């Protein structure tokens, strides 16, 4: 049985090695991360001062601040949850597995005995699950000794799927997990963020891979992933869809920042983006084991591979940035920021994406409640 599985794994690796998705990852993703580092170090090369922000302690109020972290059961999310618990936040950890959530609470408690945590089992790819979470979170806050608000929302959950899977709403699961779920959750939690007695922050965790996208459609068919699924020739375009989902999250972040400015709430809710870079997490667990091990080996040799503790620095930088920091793209740690791709900063495209996603979700349990913002 062991030999049979080994042979099967070798065949999976062989076919993936000769797929367009592998070479897209190997070439375009490598170029994308190198370009991000070029932007990071360019100010030093030309004797310019880089744009960076110091970390600030939580604003004082009558009760402890609350932070919601999605995808918090491993890797970057787990590290971010632990770091924020040390800063005095009550951390709400969100994940898909009750068992992993329990293990996460135990781990963080072992590292920080004073941590105050609350776990919710949520599937971010399911709109119904997201809506139920909003109701449960509000009820928990009302029943607790905390102010009925949240101060930080970190949309970190994401997957890299290698096979097509469809959500109950009919969306591609990877796009739904990486973008649509974050869009719905953010809009549903905006009232809790707006009711915070101190300024609130939204941090969307994106990826340098968005730079690989040079042309994009943001109609409902594409946003839902149906266009990708229909256009499949022989294999699932996992790399392309992952890049697209991360670009959508960026466009949404910048549009949300603009929308809050138009609503006069830009002094109250701040939106930033965090790019952790290349991090050794279980994101590539669906790739053939040989391929993922080879990728980690090469990236480590190139000194591009980071631990979750290092990669999470950009997320913590964004979460603890001074009030007023909004629309920034954090990358490289030490509070440093760079520019995302020109396509991601296209305001017209961002507005069209906002409208398409809102229309797409209008026929789901998200409905009018979320679209009121």
**How is the chain split into domains, by residue range?**
48-366
Token digits for 31?
């170029």
Quote the CA–CA distance of 343 and 332 in Å, as a whole number.
21
pLDDT tier at 323, thresholds 50, 70, 90: very high
pLDDT tens, residue by residue, 144-168: 989 999 999 999 999 999 999 999 9
Query: What's the 3-state SS for 315-349?
Result: HHHHHCCCCCCCCCEEECCCCEECCCCCHHHCHHH
pLDDT tens, residue by residue, 63-74: 789 999 999 999
**Cβ-Cβ contacts under 8 Å for 272 (sequence gap 6 or more):** 201, 202, 203, 204, 253, 318, 321, 325, 326, 327, 328, 329, 330
CATH fold group of domain 48-366: Rossmann fold (3.40.50)
Quote the CA–CA distance of 163 and 189 in Å, as a whole number.
31
State yes or no: pLDDT of 302 exceeds 50.
yes
pLDDT tier at 1, thresholds 50, 70, 90: very low
Residue 60, pLDDT score: 59
Q: What is the CA radius of gyration of the chain?
A: 20
Quote the CA–CA distance of 291 and 233 in Å, as a whole number.
22
HSE (side-chain half, CA atoms, 13 Å) at 103? 10
Residue 15, pLDDT score: 85
State yes or no: pLDDT of 282 exceeds 60.
yes
Residue 147 phi/psi, 5-degree rounding, is -65, 140
More confident residue, 349 or 16: 349
Residue 131, pLDDT score: 96
The SS3 assignment for 52 reads strand
Quote the Cα angle for 323-328-329, to 5°.
135
The SS3 assignment for 41 reads helix
pLDDT tier at 369, thresholds 50, 70, 90: low
Mean pLDDT to the nearest integer, 295-314: 94
**Tokens 């503790």 sit on residue:** 309
Mean pLDDT of the chain: 92
Q: State the alpha helices, DSSP H only, in 46-168.
A: 75-86, 98-111, 127-143
Contact status, residue 286 vs residue 242, Cβ threshold 8 Å: no
End-to-end alpha-carbon separation of the chain, Å? 55
Quote the CA–CA distance of 162 and 258 in Å, as a whole number.
34
Residue 284, pLDDT score: 87
Rounded to the nearest 10 degrees, how much is the dihedral formed by the CA atoms of 206, 207, 213, 218? -10
Q: At what angle do helices 127-143 and 181-194 cross, to 10 degrees?
A: 20
């Amino acid at each position: 049985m062991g030999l049979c599985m080994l042979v099967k794994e070798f065949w999976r690796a062989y076919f993936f090695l000769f797929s367009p998705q592998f070479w897209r990852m190997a070439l375009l993703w490598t170029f994308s991360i190198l370009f991000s580092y070029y932007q990071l170090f360019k100010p030093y090369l030309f004797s310019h001062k880089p744009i960076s922000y110091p970390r600030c302690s939580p604003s004082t109020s009558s009760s402890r601040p609350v932070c919601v972290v999605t995808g918090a059961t491993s890797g970057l999310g787990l590290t971010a949850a632990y770091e924020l618990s040390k800063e005095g936040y009550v951390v709400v950890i969100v994940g898909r597995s009750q068992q992993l959530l329990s293990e996460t609470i135990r781990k963080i408690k072992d590292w920080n005995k004073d941590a105050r945590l609350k776990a919710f089992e949520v599937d971010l790819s399911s709109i119904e699950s997201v809506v139920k979470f909003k109701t449960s979170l509000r009820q928990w806050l009302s029943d607790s000794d905390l102010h009925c608000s949240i101060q930080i929302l970190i949309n970190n959950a994401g997957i890299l799927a290698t096979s097509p899977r469809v959500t109950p709403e009919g969306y591609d699961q990877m796009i739904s997990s990486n973008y649509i779920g974050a869009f719905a959750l953010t809009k549903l939690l905006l009232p809790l963020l707006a009711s915070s007695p101190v300024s609130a922050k939204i941090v969307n965790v994106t990826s340098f891979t968005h730079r690989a996208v040079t042309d994009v459609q943001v109609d409902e068919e594409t946003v839902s992933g149906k266009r990708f699924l229909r256009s499949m020739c022989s294999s699932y375009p996992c790399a392309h869809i992952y890049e697209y989902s991360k670009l959508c999250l960026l466009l949404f972040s910048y549009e949300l920042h603009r929308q809050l400015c138009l609503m006069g709430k830009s002094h109250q809710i701040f939106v930033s983006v965090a790019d952790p870079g290349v991090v050794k997490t279980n994101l590539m667990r669906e790739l053939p084991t040989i391929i993922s091990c080879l990728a980690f080996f090469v990236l480590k040799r190139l000194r591009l591979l980071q631990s979750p503790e290092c990669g999470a620095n950009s997320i913590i930088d964004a979460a603890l940035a001074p009030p007023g920091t909004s629309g920034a793209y954090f990358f490289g740690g030490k509070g440093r920021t760079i520019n995302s791709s020109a396509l991601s900063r296209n305001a017209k495209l961002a507005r069209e994406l906002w409208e398409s996603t809102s229309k797409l979700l209008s026929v789901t349990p998200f409905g009018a409640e979320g679209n009121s913002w």
